[in-house]
Amino acid sequence: MQKLEEQFTQAMFEIYRVAKAEAKYNATIFLQMIADRGGLDTARYLINQTHPSDGYTHLYERGRIDLTVEAMVVENAKWHSLFTADELERAQRRLMEYGYIPQRP
């Protein structure tokens, strides 16, 4: 499980890099959260919030919901075992509320 969590953290850093390069969004708070909490705890924290994060909103405004933590978690079955069924449903519901239909492998 540890190896999968490390891979997940690397994937979180990658969506930060892609968001900065492609969406011109420099998510410094997100980056700091990953550094402080690790990728998995950061994702769980963001998914379990009652409202989307500011970063989620910024990515939505740029048309890049695909770069949110929620999309990364829902769309890649590799990560599903790291989250509860409730967290996966919450992430999917948030995506759909913003008009994003998650892509399934």
Residues 6+ apart with CB under 8 A from 62: 23, 24, 25
Domains of the chain, residue spans: 2-97
Confirm if 69 and 45 have CB atoms less than 8 A apart: no
d(CA 40, CA 43): 5
Would you state the pLDDT for residue 81?
97
The answer on pLDDT for 87 being more than 80 is: yes
CA angle 86, 88, 82 (to 5 degrees): 100
Q: Quick: pLDDT tens for 18-63.
A: 999 999 999 999 999 999 999 999 999 999 999 999 999 999 999 9
Residues 6+ apart with CB under 8 A from 66: 75, 100
Q: Quick: pLDDT tens for 3-21.
A: 999 999 999 999 999 999 9
